[in-house]
Amino acid sequence: MQNIDDDHAALFAACESGVSLCTIVGIEGSFSRRLGAQLAIFPDGRLVGSLADGCLEKQIAADVTRCGEPVIARYGRGSRLIDFRLPCGGGLDILLDPSPDRSACRETAGKLESRESCSLKLASNDLLTVREYLPQLRLRVYGEGPEIEALATLSLASGIPFETYSSNDLALGREPELPPADRWTAVLLLFHDHEWENTILRHAITGTSFYIGAQGGANARAERISRLAAEGVVDTDIARVRGPVGITPSSRTPRSLALSILSEVVGEYERLHPHG
């Protein structure tokens, strides 16, 4: 089964004939979804995507079936539906498009599959005219041991593609025989034996990865910086390497370290999102 990011699911569904595409184009007050969040509605009533807690989706599904052309509907504060309120007390403007541009949806989905950032022009409105997308987050992890297993379990359970390389896949002192990771892939080194790190890090910084991190405390970080500097790696590239990794200081179990790392990586990836 194709692994589709939650943020892309409605777009991919809207590539199919007959599927409506609904997009949050305005938010008044606070809300639990970002601007640009989308919901796809199939002719049989199936929903793909998430805009709220279920009640809103049902109302939108009912409304879009009555649309002959794209319209912006107001929900919550300021809505014509006096009996419909959002739990947060805010208001949403949602573009209901019963027949989005299929070729544009397919072209955008194809770019995401090719790991390109891209955008979809929305039906004419005065609020959000273009919905932008980032390729799905991926993890590339070098190392071995229970930390790798814990991180793989959590990542795959979260729907985050995960690839791992151990010392059996590498040659000490040689850079990995892989294309450098792209901007949307986080690179992690989880070695207790830090002699493996330098060539892998030199390879990682030739790519555009938004996150490069290496396991180890303050002493390991100081030694890592010294080794890289001695090999001629410039300060700006050295600064890209995070360590210690994770949001929890001094994690003492594989699972807690994996949770700490994954939380930090996902948080950094979310900060890249063009719609906040």
pLDDT tens digit string along 93-144?
Answer: 999 999 999 999 999 999 999 999 999 999 989 999 999 999 999 999 999 8
- 48-53, long-range: CB < 8 A, 24+ apart: 48/9, 48/10, 48/12, 48/13, 49/6, 49/9, 49/10, 49/13, 50/6, 51/22, 51/24, 51/92, 51/94, 52/86, 52/87, 53/87
Per-residue confidence band for 56, with pLDDT thresholds at 50, 70 and 90: confident
138-271 belongs to CATH 3.40.190.10:
no
d(C-alpha 118, C-alpha 236), whole Å: 28
CB atoms within 10 A of CB 238: 16
Q: What is the pLDDT of residue 2?
A: 61
The residue ranges of every structural domain in the chain are: 9-133, 138-271
Share of the chain above pLDDT 90, in %: 78
Please check the confidence at residue 9 and state whether its pLDDT lies above 80. Answer: yes
Give the DSSP H or E segment for 40.
strand 38-41
pLDDT category at 90 given cuts 50, 70, 90 is: confident
* Mean pLDDT for the stretch of residues 181-208: 95
Amino acid 222: pLDDT:
95
Residue 1: the pLDDT is 40
pLDDT single digits (tens) 133-183: 999 999 999 998 999 999 999 999 999 999 999 999 999 889 999 999 999
pLDDT in tens, 63-79: 999 998 999 999 988 78
Query: Omega into 254 within 30° of 0, i.e. cis?
Result: no
Which amino acid is located at 121 in the chain? K
User: Which residue, chain included where needed, has tokens 């063009």?
Assistant: 274
Confidence (pLDDT) at 193: 87
**Using 50, 70 and 90 to split pLDDT, how confident is the model at 83?**
low
Mean pLDDT score, 200-221 = 95
Tell whether pTM > 0.95.
no
The answer, yes or no, to whether residue 84 has pLDDT greater than 90, is: no
Q: Looking at the predicted structure, is the pLDDT value of residue 89 above 80?
A: no
Cα 264 to the chain's mean position, in Å?
12
